[in-house]
Structure formats: structure tokens, C-alpha cells
Amino acid sequence: MKKALSVLLCVSLLFSLSSLAFAQAEKESPVLFVAGMNTCDLIYLDDGTKAFPPTSDRIKDSIVSAIIPLLVNGILMRSWDGAAKALCKAANGIFEPCKMKPNTTSLYNVGAELPDRYTTSAERYENGEEYFFTYDWRFSPLDTADILNDYINGILENTGCEKIRIYSHSMGSCVLLSYLEKYGHDKVEKLLFTDSAFQGMDFVGELFSGKVYVNPESLTNYVCDLVYGTDYAWVGGLMKFLKATYFTDGVCKLFNDVLVKNMIDTICVEMRDFVFMLPGIWSFCPAKDYAACRKFVFGDTPAEEYRILVEKNDYYINNVQSKIKDILDSAMADGVSVSILAAYDRQGIPIVSSSTNQSDGMVDVKHASIGATAAPLGKTLGDNYKQIVTACGHNHLSADLVIDASTCMYPEYTWFIRGVLHHIFGADIDAFCDWILNYDGQPTIFDNPQYPQFLTYDRDTEKVTILGTAS
Ligand SMILES: [Zn+2]
């Protein structure tokens, strides 16, 4: 009898242990969203007052203080130098609180105001909510990655989970990639990168090498896009009229040939202490442009005072941005799933020649997708275009003939949405992200008839559907 009891005890103990083990294996990993740039305010840490985005009073005061010097220098004295300095004074006034020292620390005691949802508590997990990571966008993604590492460790500790599913947006992908480079992927189950600037933006590559160019067509598109569906929609009509009558072309030519040519050097010198001191923005410089930008800003041999900044920028470009394939291949080899989502067919900021690139209005689609071949905005690759890489035997050419995804780093794991703007998510895009993050294993563009490689977004209904033929 005793023997029978002990056997029974052993068996029941084994059962309870195995059910425990089973329960742990079934426990879903938490989901973390690494947000993009400027997703929390910057505050003065001493008293909690807002430092950035600037208050309307600060913007107004800065502009007002620049108007008279601008008019006097530009019109009366015909001094381009003086006019450029007046413009920069206004801009510097607006951005003053964001300035950083060349040693990559904040000039003033300014830092991120972390929102309530920035928490690692288990409660969020138990409520089925995502975790939310935001940060001070001025800093190097390499430094922010250290904070992200602590945040991930906190979540795993509090929830008792071993792995985490992470998706990122825009600059968040630079931070996430830096985290993977520094801390590895052992704690990661899934990765989804959306509208990622992890290969930079041509926009920054041009501006950081002193190239400014206003394209009249891009300017027209940009304004039309901005006022679409608002009370100012008539401005779009006016812009189209001005473009059709070559007025915009004339104004842009004047701006490019006279103003830009005469003012750009002064502007670069005057803005140096602000914009070029931000390692976060340097992470947006595409590797292909980096050497030229570095030389333009710091010369052949950067001065000692910029050593820390330049070292961080160099490290990010050489070991993170240029090593995406190594970082992601190694994660995938260990069973981490990797998915990429990139948007296109929106007009980018029209002050650089690359504003004709296909983008989501901010990040070039070729960079967000790691290597897609795209027609210029408003054009197609042509009716006779042939997909560049054919080895896999799939069709990777979009039905609108704008994107050839065969040249992507991961053509089977990369999706595209036509017509959606950089910062837009919405219910349908959330549902797509949920599908990716909940998929058992590595999702591909063939796994769900609802989500083939190419999708399209309707800005009126906010619906995402399968991309049909050219529209
Ligand atoms: Zn393929």
C-alpha cells in the first residue's frame, strides 16, 4: 500500500511539474514598441518645464527678432551674409534648448519626459498591452541602446518571460539595430522594422554636405499633400496653377541660383553648433554619403573637441548601419524572425534633389526596405521593365510597376504599403503588425492571402488592401 502511494505521489508530482513546464513554454512573450524620433517631449530636468517642441511664443519671438535684420540686410544692404545670419538667429532661438556639446551631452539640463506608459511593470503584460520605449532623440542610438537594454531586462524580469517580441518605427529601428549589435539577440523572439531609417535618409546626406535644392514639382506636390482634405485645399489648386504657368519654376530657380548659392556657407557655419552636434541626426546619414558629410562638417581631420562625437558617428555608420546584414542574418540563424515594412508614394520634404525619391514622405523606400529598386515619385519603372534578380523564381515586381523588391536584402520578408505617410499607423496597419508579431515562426509574403508583398492604403477610408494594377 505504501509503495502504491509513493508511486502515486511520484506520478502526480511528475504531472504537476510537466504541466508547469508546459505552462511556461506556452507563455507568450511580451511585445515592445520602440518608437520613432520625437515621440516624447524634452524638458528642463530641473523644473520640468517644456524645452522641445518649442512653445508658440518661443517660435514667434525668434521669428520676430529676425525679421528686421533680415529685411535690412537682404533688401537695403544687399548683404547675403547678414541675411543668412538673421535667419539662423531665428532658427537658433527656436532650437536653443536642444543644443548639445561636442562631447555628446546636453548643453542645458534637458532630457526626455517619459510618459506613463514607459513602464516595465508586469501589469501591462497581464493586461495584454504592449510596452512602449521612447527616448531623447538627440542622442546616439548607441547610447539609447544601453537604456533599451535595461528596459528589456526590466520587462523580462518582471514578467518572468525569457524572450521579447520587438517592433520599431523610424529612428526606433536605428536604436533597435544598435541594441542588437551591442547586446545580441538572445532575448529576442521576433523583430519587425517599420518605415525604418536604419539605412539613413538621402535627405540628411544632402543637407549634411551643404546641398539644398528646391524642386518646383516636389514643392507643388508637398503643399498639395499638406492641405489635402483640409479647409485650405484650395491652396493646392493655386499651387497647381502656379506650377502650370511656370511661376513656381521661376521662383525656385531664383531661390536655388541666388539665395542658396549666396547663403548656404554662412548658414552651415551659423547652424554648426546646433544641427551638426546631434549624433541622433547623424545616424540618419546614409553610409554612402557619410565620408563626404563628415569631411564637409569636420574637415579631413576632425578637431580634438569633436573626437567623441565623430567616434560615435563613425562607429554607428561602420558597425551598425553598414552591418545590417550581419546583424540580422545572425539573429535569423538562431531562429529570430525578421520582417520589414516600408511605405512609398508620398512626397518628401522638397528642399533636396532626392525629394523625387520614392518615400513615405520622410524615409526613402530603398533605405526602409534595405535595397528595393524604385521608380522616381510619380513615375513607373516602365512597361518593359524586367525584375533585376530572378534566381528565386518569384515575382517581386509591384503591380503598379513602381517597386522591384527583388533587390531587397530579404525580398521574401519585406512588405510595401503604397500611399501611407511616415507617422501613420491606424487599425489596418496595426492588424498587419499583430499578424507578423503573432505568427508562429518566420512569416513570409506568401503566408497570408490578405498580406501579399504589395499593399495599398486609402487615405480617405484609412483601409489597407491588396495593391491592384497601376492607379
Ligand atoms: Zn523571391
Supply the pLDDT for residue 258: 82
Q: Are 108 and 142 in contact (CB under 8 A)?
A: no
C-alpha cell at 449: 492571402
Cell triple for 388: 533585376
CA–centroid distance, 179 to ligand 1, in Å, is 29
* Distance from Cα 118 to the centre of ligand 1, integer Å: 39
Strand pairing partners for 340? 193, 414
Higher pLDDT pick, 359 / 84: 359
Band of pLDDT at residue 67, cut at 50, 70 and 90: confident
Q: What is the pTM of this model?
A: 0.90
**Domain spans, the chain:** 31-40+116-199+322-466, 42-110+202-300
Question: How much is the mean pLDDT over the chain?
Answer: 90
Question: When comparing pLDDT for 51 and 4, which is higher?
Answer: 51
pLDDT value for 3 = 57
pLDDT-derived band of residue 269, with 50, 70 and 90 as boundaries?
confident
Sorting pLDDT into bands at 50, 70 and 90, what band is 5? low
Is the distance from CB of 74 to CB of 83 less than 8 angstroms?
Answer: yes
pLDDT at residue 184 in the model: 98
pLDDT at position 196? 97
Which residues, including other chains, have CB under 8 Å from residue 287's CB and lie 6 or more apart? Answer: 199, 200, 317, 321, 322
CA of 388 to the centre of ligand 1 (A): 11
* d(CA 232, ligand 1 centre) in Å: 44
**How far away, in angstroms, is 411 Cα from ligand 1 center?**
6
Q: How far, in Å, from the CA of 405 to the mean position of ligand 1?
A: 9
CA of 406 to the centre of ligand 1 (A): 7
Indicate the burial class of 86 (C-beta count within 10 angstroms; 0-12, 13-18, 19 or more). buried
pLDDT of 2? 52
Half-sphere exposure of 162 (CA within 13 A, CB side): 5
Residues 139 and 100: their CA atoms lie apart, in Å, by 9
Q: Is the pLDDT of residue 333 over 70?
A: yes
Q: What digits encode the pLDDT tens for the residues 217-255? A: 999 999 998 888 888 889 999 999 999 999 999 999 988
Q: Is the confidence at residue 20, as pLDDT, over 60? A: no
Alpha carbon of 6 to ligand 1 centroid (Å):
59
More confident residue, 441 or 470: 441
pLDDT of residue 469: 61
Whole-number Å distance, alpha carbon 214 to ligand 1 midpoint, is 38
Find the mean pLDDT for residues 201-212.
92
Mean pLDDT on 281-307: 95
Q: What is the pLDDT of residues 37-61, one digit of tens each?
A: 999 999 999 999 999 988 888 788 8
**Which CATH number is 31-40+116-199+322-466's, of 3.40.50.300, 3.40.50.1820, 3.10.450.30, 3.40.50.620?**
3.40.50.1820
Maximum average pLDDT range among 5-19, 235-249, 265-279: 235-249
pLDDT bin (cut points 50, 70, 90) of residue 7 is: low
Whole-number pLDDT of residue 24: 47
Taking alpha carbons only, the member of 213, 219, 212 closest to residue 242 is 219
Burial bucket for residue 101 (CB in 10 Å: 0-12, 13-18, 19+): middle
Give the distance (Å) from ligand 1 centre to CA of residue 445. 9
d(CA 366, ligand 1 centre) in Å: 17
Q: What is the mean pLDDT of residues 403-409?
A: 98
**Ligand 1 center to 34 CA (angstroms):** 29
Q: Which band of pLDDT confidence, cut at 50, 70 and 90, is reported for residue 12?
A: low
Mean pLDDT calculated for residue range 343-366: 95
Q: Determine which helix (DSSP H) or strand (DSSP E) holds 164, and give its type and residue range.
A: strand 164-169
Compute how many other C-beta atoms are within 10 angstroms of the C-beta atom of residue 151.
21
Half-sphere exposure of 303 (CA within 13 A, CB side): 5
Ligand 1 geometric centre to CA of 123 (Å): 41
Per-residue confidence at 431, pLDDT binned at 50, 70, 90?
Answer: very high
Q: What percent of the chain has pLDDT over 90?
A: 75
pLDDT digits (tens, 9 = 90+) for 81-139: 787 888 888 888 888 889 999 999 999 999 999 999 999 999 999 999 999 999 999 99
Write down the H helix ranges in 228-360: 233-244, 247-254, 261-275, 279-282, 287-298, 307-315, 324-333
- CA of 397 relative to ligand 1 center, distance in Å: 10
